[in-house]
Copies of this chain bind each other. A is one copy, B any other.
Amino acid sequence: MPKLNENFLTLEKNYLFITIAEKINKFKTENPDKIDRIIRMGIGDVTLPIAPAVVAAVKKGADEMGVKETFKGYEDSGAGYDFLKQAVSGYYKGFGVEIDANEIRINDGAKSDCGNIVDIFDNSNVILLTDPVYPVYADSNKMSGRKIIYAASNEENNFSAMPDLDVACDIIYLCSPNNPTGSAYTAEQLKIWINYARKNNAIIIYDAAYEAFITDPDIPRSIFAIDGARECAIEMCSLSKTAGFTGMRCGYTVIPKELKAGDVPVSGIWGRRQGSKFNGVSYPVQCGAAAVFTDEGQMQIKKNIAYYQENAKIIAATMDKLGYKYTGGKNSPYIWFKCPNGMGSWEYFDYLLNELQVVGTPGEGFGENGKGWFRLTAFGDREKTEEAMIRLVNA
């Protein structure tokens, strides 16, 4: 057998959500009478169906694939059809950010690009993550044996980590609105990160997967709303949370023309990587994604987002009522709160599952600073969300 990449053996054996699934299964086996009572507010998966305009567009795309004259084989570039890149570019324009269609690459969801983009950088680069963190950023760099350092998001800074100007790094991951903490950077805070990155010759990989949940006007929808970002940032976004695409699989990555390593454009190197290891997104899926950006599509998905935002408000109001400290709930589908009575994250997880049959995500699963904190998502049913909150209040 060839020598394994030993970095894999140092990873936690299970992805966080698999551990949670196992705990739920155990509970179900031991409590068959309580299975129907379980309310899932753990994994950040959406529950509302795909918008009708999107379904119609996927079906139209499928029909085109069935007719010789409109059949589509390999995409020339694998970077996405122009009609979709133009639609994404127009979407950015809608909140005042100019992105050329050629700076956009369509992908099968942010997770793949988030994980694979680091292939184009040397393993000697130092990675800066905020902690707590979406595990994918850490794991994909641990797989290459890269050194990872952390900036703490904690109660003191409202779970919005800021850079330590005395610490150097090469690649920074930021997620705003944040998974898991629901906090979101203001324009001013992002400017500080950009200045820090440029001083360090570092790049920022900016995960904007939750941008559609932003309501405050001083929270930017894109890092490219801030001066200087085009020289140091790559932005990744996804239709998973924006339009319920978790099972449909489509997202996009923006690499500005200005982003260069010496005189080599970063987008060219990433294109070379993708040219050898990716063949583009399914044509009917791209048709569906383009429909998200039509007037009809926007109207329909905004209705869904408003539904989740209302859930978030209901959860936040419950936190207020219970006197729990929390972040998120506003500008974000996540509510991140301090476990009551000094309980640990996993202890509280077990309590919620066993006593109230509510499933959340232990903050500890996202890192050191998540210890004693807990995440609930607003992506569930209204009725079940309300019922879960009643159980919390009455407990």
Q: Which residues of A contact B (CB under 8 A)?
A: 1-6, 8-9, 11, 13, 15, 18, 21, 43, 45-52, 54-55, 58-59, 62-63, 65-68, 71-76, 108-109, 111-112, 114-116, 119-125, 135-136, 139-140, 143, 170-171, 201-203, 244, 246-250, 260-262, 264, 266, 269, 272-273, 275-285, 288
- A238 CB to nearest chain B CB (Å): 9
CA distance A388 to B24 in the complex (A): 63
**Oligomer: number of copies:** 2
CA distance A51 to B71 in the complex (A): 11
User: Interface centre among A52, A66, A244, by most B CB within 10 Å?
Assistant: A66
Assess the B249–A279 pair: CB atoms within 8 A.
yes
- A272 CB to nearest chain B CB (Å): 6
Q: Which residues of B contact A249 (CB under 8 A)?
A: 279-282
Q: Which residues of B contact A66 (CB under 8 A)?
A: 49-52, 54-55
Question: Which single member of B11, B116, B276 contacts A272 (CB below 8 Å)?
Answer: B11
Assess the B279–A112 pair: CB atoms within 8 A.
yes
Known contacts A54-B66, A135-B276; 17 additional CB pairs below 8 A are A2-B125, A2-B201, A4-B264, A8-B120, A45-B74, A49-B65, A50-B71, A73-B244, A111-B277, A111-B279, A115-B278, A119-B143, A143-B276, A247-B280, A248-B283, A249-B281, A284-B285
Assess the A121–B5 pair: CB atoms within 8 A.
yes
Q: Which residues of B contact A136 (CB under 8 A)?
A: 276-277
Residue of B nearest to A260 (CB): B1
Assess the B3–A170 pair: CB atoms within 8 A.
yes
CA distance A171 to B4 in the complex (A): 11
Question: Which single member of B15, B52, B54, B275 contacts A275 (CB below 8 Å)?
Answer: B15
Q: If the complex has contacts A65-B50, A66-B49, are A74 and B1 also in contact, measured as CB distance less than 8 A?
A: no
Question: Which single member of B55, B247, B277 contacts A140 (CB below 8 Å)?
Answer: B277
CA distance A202 to B1 in the complex (A): 5
- A108 CB to nearest chain B CB (Å): 6
Assess the B47–A273 pair: CB atoms within 8 A.
no
CA distance A279 to B122 in the complex (A): 25
Assess the A58–B264 pair: CB atoms within 8 A.
no
Assess the A248–B5 pair: CB atoms within 8 A.
no
Q: Which residues of B contact A76 (CB under 8 A)?
A: 21
